[in-house]
């Protein structure tokens, strides 16, 4: 099967792909409510002859699009959710389209479109060659907040997949080998008794006191957890006004550790602290588990195939306008901040790139053995099947992620070039896997060795469903770009 034909299809259809990506950028929908984004991708995949299963694993905006038959089965991961509060115009300065509205600060408009483009290009070549094999596009909602892939993994939807490919926009071109952290997301609801805070405070039982005492206890716990653990929270509801003892308060915690077996003991201690806060304040505690994600298992075999395809294609050179755009965005953070970030990532030869704003070099797979502090539901997929989630240069190099800077880049020609390049890389990688089953055999052997006998058991409690009502409630409160 000829990779060049797939790459030609992507090149010939790049205007259409940019339009799809830009539409998802405009929608900027939050997790589990990506209705327009998922409908758009489903409609385009249906036009190309893919069979669609929508609403899988209890999520209305999820889908699986399938073409072909037999083995191997290659999966393309598609994300399309945005982030709250970081709306921005497609300009190199902070200027929201709508203040407080969501924006694609992680480039998932590009991520989802890449999966569509790569799958269709791969299908075209498979049809020409009349080869057996199956490709699937997994429409995976809510990566940013509610872990759509983890619900899909629990439902067994990746069990028959021989390898998965995902693309995440970034500031660099490579396929990293670092792991991520496992995480639990959980909300703590405290119920007390209201009273007049001045006239009858003794009659009240403050739910806010419980929240604050819990937070104090957790902050003391930080001294007694492993170095790589991370605990962070927000108070979502803390009462109405100072002269009323709050009878309800709520916090939302993320608890992270490099591996699930390290995370659970920390989480258990936090639960005890939460219960202690309820005892001290004579309030009632309700614990609402939101999601649980595994750490990512890298795969060097797949990463090498991905990077080899990157080098065969070559990253497109930026235009003068793009260089000027990037230089203006680079003024929004200091060189010292950039250097500190490169050091923290332990990026090889980072000194060469201190003055680079748009990365065009393609880096070897690196950072094996390192643990990125963030988490992703791609981790759950990587425990089930060999998975490569690669990065391409869409953002200004050194700019923070989840930021207005990334929103601006995701909707411009910088994002478009990353999209077209990444689509070709993903299609080329998939065709190599379809052509050479030995790559898959070796990738599976590597996964077995890395797991070292550990088995994937979903961290989602039995009977726990995606938090659709919470997601809808949050979305309805948001200002909208469109």
Cis peptide bond upstream of 186, omega within 30: no
Cα(147)–Cα(195) distance, integer angstroms: 39
The pLDDT assigned to 272 comes to 98
Determine if residue 398 is left, alpha or beta; phi over 0 gives left, psi from -120 to 50 gives alpha, anything else beta: left
The pLDDT assigned to 430 comes to 98
In sequence order, which residues have a C-beta less than 8 Å from that of residue 227 and are 6 or more positions away?
none
Cα(62)–Cα(151) distance, integer angstroms: 10
In sequence order, which residues have a C-beta less than 8 Å from that of residue 74 and are 6 or more positions away?
122, 133, 134, 135, 136, 161, 162, 163, 164, 165, 430, 433, 434
Contact 434, 126 (CB under 8 A): yes
Cα(236)–Cα(118) distance, integer angstroms: 40
3-class DSSP state of 230: strand
Cα(45)–Cα(119) distance, integer angstroms: 9
Torsion of CA 165, 166, 172, 176, to 10 degrees: -60
The superfamily (CATH) of domain 3-180+295-451 is: Zn peptidases (3.40.630.10)
The pLDDT assigned to 146 comes to 93
The pLDDT assigned to 462 comes to 81
Q: In this structure, are strands 73-78 and 163-170 parallel, antiparallel, or unpaired?
A: parallel
> For the chain, which residues make up each domain, given as ranges?
3-180+295-451, 182-293
Contact 478, 97 (CB under 8 A): no
User: Whose CA is closest to 311, among 67, 40, 3, 9?
Assistant: 3
Cα(384)–Cα(297) distance, integer angstroms: 10
Cα(398)–Cα(333) distance, integer angstroms: 8
The pLDDT assigned to 298 comes to 98
Q: Which residue has the tokens 């037999």?
A: 70
The predicted-structure confidence for 357-393, as pLDDT tens digits, reads as follows 999 999 999 999 999 999 999 999 999 999 999 999 9
Cα–Cα distances (Å) from 229 to 126, 262, 416, in that order, read: 45, 9, 36
The predicted-structure confidence for 161-199, as pLDDT tens digits, reads as follows 999 999 999 999 999 999 999 999 999 999 999 999 999
List the structure tokens of 56.
């899988």
Cα(86)–Cα(102) distance, integer angstroms: 5
Cα(389)–Cα(369) distance, integer angstroms: 16
The pLDDT assigned to 344 comes to 86
Q: How many CA atoms lie within 13 A of 351 on its CB side?
A: 1
Q: In this structure, are strands 63-69 and 51-54 parallel, antiparallel, or unpaired?
A: antiparallel
Q: Do domains 3-180+295-451 and 182-293 have the same CATH topology?
A: no
The pLDDT assigned to 17 comes to 98
The architecture that CATH gives domain 182-293 is: 2-Layer Sandwich (3.30)
The pLDDT assigned to 24 comes to 98
Q: Which residue has the tokens 């957790």?
A: 218
Cα(306)–Cα(75) distance, integer angstroms: 14
State the CB neighbour count (10 A cutoff) for residue 286: 11
DSSP secondary structure of 431-461: HHHHH-HHHHHHHHHHHHHHHTT-----SSP
Cα(293)–Cα(390) distance, integer angstroms: 19
| Residue spans of the chain under pLDDT 70 | 1
State the CB neighbour count (10 A cutoff) for residue 56: 18
């Amino acid at each position: 099967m000829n990779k060049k034909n797939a790459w030609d299809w992507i090149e010939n259809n790049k205007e259409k792909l940019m339009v799809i990506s830009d539409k998802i950028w405009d929608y900027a929908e939050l997790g589990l409510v990506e209705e327009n984004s998922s409908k758009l991708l489903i409609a385009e995949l249906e036009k190309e002859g893919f069979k669609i299963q929508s609403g899988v694993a209890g999520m209305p905006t999820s889908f699986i699009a399938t073409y072909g038959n037999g083995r191997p089965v290659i999966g393309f991961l598609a994300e399309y959710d945005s982030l709250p509060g970081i709306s921005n115009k497609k300009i190199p300065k902070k200027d929201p389209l709508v203040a407080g509205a969501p924006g694609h600060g992680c480039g998932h408009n590009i991520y989802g479109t890449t999966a569509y483009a790569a799958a269709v290009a791969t299908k075209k070549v498979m049809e020409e060659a009349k080869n057996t094999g199956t490709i699937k596009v997994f429409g995976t909602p809510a990566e940013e907040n509610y872990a759509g892939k983890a619900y899909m993994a629990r439902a067994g939807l990746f069990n028959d997949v021989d390898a998965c490919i995902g693309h995440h926009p970034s500031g660099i071109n490579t396929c990293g080998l670092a792991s991520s952290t496992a995480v639990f997301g959980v909300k703590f609801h405290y119920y007390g008794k209201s009273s007049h805070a001045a006239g009858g405070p003794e009659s009240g039982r403050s739910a806010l006191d419980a929240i604050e005492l819990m937070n104090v206890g957790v902050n003391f716990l930080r001294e007694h957890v492993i170095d790589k653990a991370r605990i962070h929270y927000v108070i979502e509801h803390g009462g109405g006004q100072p002269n009323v003892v709050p009878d309800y308060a709520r916090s939302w915690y993320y608890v992270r550790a490099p591996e699930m077996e390290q995370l659970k003991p920390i989480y258990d201690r936090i639960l005890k602290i939460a219960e202690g806060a309820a005892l001290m304040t004579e309030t009632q505690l309700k614990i609402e588990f939101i999601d649980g994600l595994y750490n990512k298992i890298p795969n060097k075999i797949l990463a090498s195939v991905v990077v080899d395809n990157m080098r065969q294609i070559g990253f497109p050179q930026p235009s003068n306008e793009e260089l000027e755009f990037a230089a203006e965005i680079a003024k929004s953070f200091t060189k010292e901040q950039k250097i500190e970030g490169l050091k923290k990532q332990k990026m090889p030869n980072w000194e060469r790139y201190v003055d680079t704003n748009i990365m065009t070099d393609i880096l070897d797979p690196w950072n094996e053995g390192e643990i990125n502090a963030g988490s992703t539901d791609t981790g759950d997929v990587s425990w089930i099947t060999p998975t490569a989630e690669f990065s391409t240069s869409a953002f200004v190099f050194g700019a923070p992620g989840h930021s207005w800077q990334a929103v601006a880049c995701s909707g411009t020609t910088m994002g478009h070039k990353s999209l077209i390049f990444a689509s070709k890389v993903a299609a080329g990688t998939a065709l190599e896997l379809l052509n050479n089953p030995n790559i898959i055999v070796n990738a599976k052997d590597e996964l077995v060795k890395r797991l070292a006998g550990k088995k994937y058991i979903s961290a989602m409690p039995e009977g726990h469903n995606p938090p659709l009502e919470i997601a809808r409630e949050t979305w309805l409160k948001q200002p909208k770009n469109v």
